[in-house]
Amino acid sequence: MTSSSQKTKASVGRRNFLKTAVVAGASTALPTDSEAATGKKAASDSSSSQGLAAPSAEQMNMEASTPEQLAEAQPDQLAANTESGAAKSFGSDFMIDVMKSLDLDYVFSNPGSSFLGLHESITVYGGNSKPEFITCMHEESAAAMANGYYKAALKPAAIMCHGTVGLQHASMNLYNAWCDRVPLIAILGNTVDAADRMGATTWRHSAQDPVAMVRDFTKWDDQPASLQAFAESMVRGWKIATTPPMEPIALAVDSTLQEMEIGDGERPKIPRYTPSEPPQGARGAVRETAKLLVEAETPVIIVDRLARTPEGMRLLVELAELLNVPVIDIASRQNMPTNHYLNQTRQSGRLIPSADLILGLEVTDFWGQVNSVNRAEMTSEPRVKDGVKLITISVNDLYMKSNYQDFQRYAPVDISVSGDAEATLPALIEEVKEAMSRSRRRTLAEKEKIFRKMHADSFEESRQLAARGWDSSPVSTARMSMEIYEQIKDEDWALVSVGASERFISSWPHRLWNFDEHYRYLGIGAGGGVGYGLPAAVGAALANKKLGRFSVNIQCDGDFMYANGALWTAAHHRIPLLTVMHNNRAYAQESMLVQGTANRRKRGVERASIGTLIQDPNIDYAKLAEGMGVWSAGPIENPDDLRPALIEAVKVVKSGYPALVDVVTQMR
């Protein structure tokens, strides 16, 4: 199919290539960044320690060809091929070496003809390890999985798809990743040379500039014309993606280049990767910020994506305790532990209007925090008092693209520090210590008692509210959330997804669960694109499997139906994940909005449910899951049936498999 014979033949033999791969593979045995960051070692075998599995007969049969076994089998086969002289080196083999040099764990993909070479090189040449091919049912799911994987592992993953039809599918969750500042590597198959396009489909799957479609929401892209250029662009792209503001990057990879034979002596060089230090705020602005913070009487800190790593959470706690300043956590990442008395998120309605200084740390929509919007009346007004000092520390101004408008409304502030907030916090803490007198420290310490009481009162209010409708059917979201928590609280758990908004379940987890670690919560599908929740959860659960964490996903029904094939991926790759359906049989958010519009126009509400309810027929999610090889229970309408189902589901997950419990719930 290719004109590879016309291309340069290099002299690197298969044996030398393999040696390189082995060396690269050995280097990947070192602890990952996330393991180093969390201080925890990867669980060697999550299934062996529990011994509680109840796999079906089908699952047992599938054991004969698990991906792990296949991965182990491949090197032997490869060696045999090499001994017989059957194998040569190809461009795509070299590309895998580049990926190995970056310690890339996974490629989320489904097969496509424009990246056949890469597909074969991953599974055969590379032994399907570093990277491993994770089989997806949709490119949109692949992009969400890479998104979830990064947020749990703190390490980029790649997706691989056609540069045309595959990318069209993947684009929405690339946009979610963009809005969420998640680095991922999109590898797009393409056939650049028209003379190499064998057949009509190849023409349809080729483009002059495939990345054009997603350039507005990728940080950088390239279409390298040689293997040397590929190596440099892959390393460069990785570096760009992982430097704050972190974002996806895209590489269009020519199918002809993938097929190019490499001869002895002409193997391109893989450049060394050195991560960039994140940009920090200028010292003078940081000093001024510290001075104002120390002087303020009623300061408030608002955080959104501050904590890129667990260190971000530790630094935020240190800063907040130094000043006894309340923290409002928007929680696109888990920035502030919920059990800390200075986490006053539930009190934002009281604290923000009375603040004399507000410091925003990596807040995307700062304007939206200091103003209130009446959506029905299409009006807005400040929710802060006159004279309040507004300060932001973020990489927002380093992040701009003009077409898509996720940068939000312009927020006038008194000090704007351009720099990564987590990287800037050590300097800010140092300056605060410097600026604070002993007497001021004593004065500020007196606030602790007040905030402890506010924190306790807020928690108690939520605890009492959770009891309301405890025995209702459909099941209340409080009952569902707390029954889940009861079963997982003694595990090293992580709530890996709640879809597009935790408010869809009245924020019960953040009101009553103890989010005391950075990894306990991974935020939402930041672009609001539906079809994020389940695949992102699967990607995160894949990361957590190695880290020995118990992954739970509270799954909205509407979101589920966009990308439910992700369940099959979880079953196929033995990814332990507890999914609990928030099955309110509706696109509830839109239902409320349509109802509000109809009321405002005085046209009645009888038709407001058209197009917003997912009923008639009701969807049986347990059957859907079962059909994809996933243990399931439900639909559960009686709340008393929930606990026994969850107990069984947790056993299945602890044995290394996914499980789904379908709960018919109240709307919110």
**What strands lie across the sheet with 357-361, from one edge to the other?**
327-329, 299-303, 357-361, 389-394, 415-418
Count of residues in the chain:
668
Is residue 485 a contact point for other proteins (CB under 8 A)? yes
Is residue 666 a contact point for other proteins (CB under 8 A)? yes
Rounded to a whole number, what is the largest CA-CA distance in the chain?
Answer: 81
Binds other proteins by CB under 8 A, chosen from 275, 503, 638, 644 = 503
Q: Give the E-state strand segments of 28-114 in sequence order.
A: 89-90, 106-109
Is residue 476 a contact point for other proteins (CB under 8 A)? yes
Q: Which is nearer to other proteins, 100 or 479 (CB)?
A: 479
Question: Applying CB under 8 A, which part among 229-237, 298-306, 481-489, 615-623 lies near other proteins?
Answer: 481-489
Q: Which of residues 55-74 bind other proteins (CB under 8 A)?
A: none
Q: Which is nearer to other proteins, 113 or 380 (CB)?
A: 380
Q: Which is nearer to other proteins, 36 or 467 (CB)?
A: 467
Tell me, residue by residue from 444 to 473, as one string, x for binding to other proteins by CB under 8 A and - for no binding. Answer: -----------xx-xxx--xxxxxxxxxx-
Is residue 248 a contact point for other proteins (CB under 8 A)? no
299: three-class secondary structure by DSSP: strand
Binds other proteins by CB under 8 A, chosen from 54, 198, 376, 450 = 376
SS (H, E, C) 449-506: HHHHHHHHHHHHHHHHHHCCCCCCCCECHHHHHHHHHHHHCCCCEEEEECCCCHHHHC
Assigned token pair, 309: 């790593």
Is residue 514 a contact point for other proteins (CB under 8 A)? yes
Q: Which is nearer to other proteins, 20 or 506 (CB)?
A: 506
Binds other proteins by CB under 8 A, chosen from 177, 586, 645, 650 = 586
Question: Applying CB under 8 A, which part among 107-115, 242-250, 369-377, 382-390 lies near other proteins?
Answer: 369-377
Assigned token pair, 637: 């309408």
Q: Which of residues 329-348 bind other proteins (CB under 8 A)?
A: 338-339, 341
Residues 303, 362: Cα–Cα separation, whole Å = 6
Is residue 404 a contact point for other proteins (CB under 8 A)? no
CA-to-CA separations, 461 to 331, 464, 466, 469, in angstroms, rounded: 21, 5, 9, 15
Question: Applying CB under 8 A, which part among 206-214, 215-223, 584-592, 627-635 lies near other proteins?
Answer: 584-592
Q: Give the E-state strand segments of 529-627 in sequence order.
A: 550-556, 578-583
Residues 496, 547: Cα–Cα separation, whole Å = 13
Tell me, residue by residue from 516 to 545, as one string, x for binding to other proteins by CB under 8 A and - for no binding. Answer: x-----------------------------
Q: Which is nearer to other proteins, 369 or 507 (CB)?
A: 507
Residues 190, 161: Cα–Cα separation, whole Å = 9
SS (H, E, C) 140-185: HHHHHHHHHHHHHHCCCCEEEEECCHHHHHHHHHHHHHHHCCCCCE
Residues 180, 518: Cα–Cα separation, whole Å = 16
Question: Applying CB under 8 A, which part among 358-366, 426-434, 478-486, 619-627 lies near other proteins?
Answer: 478-486
The residues binding other proteins (CB under 8 A) are: 338-339, 341, 374-376, 455-456, 458-460, 463-472, 474, 476-478, 482-483, 485-486, 503, 506-507, 512-514, 516, 586, 588, 591-592, 595-596, 598-600, 602, 604-606, 608-609, 666-668
